[in-house]
Amino acid sequence: MIRLVIAGIIVYVVYRLSKSLFAPSERTSKGYPRGKESPAIKGEDLVKDPWCGTYVPISSAHTITLNGEKLYFCSKECLEKYKKEHR
């Protein structure tokens, strides 16, 4: 019985050693290079369309200034509908 336990431990140790030898050495389990921080994710502010409630990135939003306030819309259609409603 003791021989079986010792054989199991030896098989496990050999398995772990072989796994560490053949694993890629420059990557961690999360996929980031070792010794470096994770890459920064650059984002952009989202704004809420006042007409339909959709969130849209500022760079792709349709804009209008009404009463000194800049409003952002997801589409030209939402902008036109809002303008008709708030004249």
Tens digit of each residue's pLDDT (9 = 90 or more) over 49-85: 999 999 999 999 999 998 899 999 999 999 999 999 9
pLDDT computed for residue 63 by the predictor: 94
- pLDDT for 29 beyond 60: no
Question: Exposed, middle or buried, 86 (CB in 10 Å: 0-12/13-18/19+)?
Answer: exposed
Report which secondary-structure segment, H or E, holds 70. strand 69-73
Q: Are strands 62-66 and 69-73 parallel, antiparallel or unpaired?
A: antiparallel
Please, which pLDDT band fits residue 26 given cuts at 50, 70 and 90?
low
pLDDT computed for residue 67 by the predictor: 87
DSSP character at residue 1: -
For 29, the 3-state DSSP assignment is coil
Measured from the Cβ of residue 64, the count of other Cβ atoms closer than 10 Å reads 13
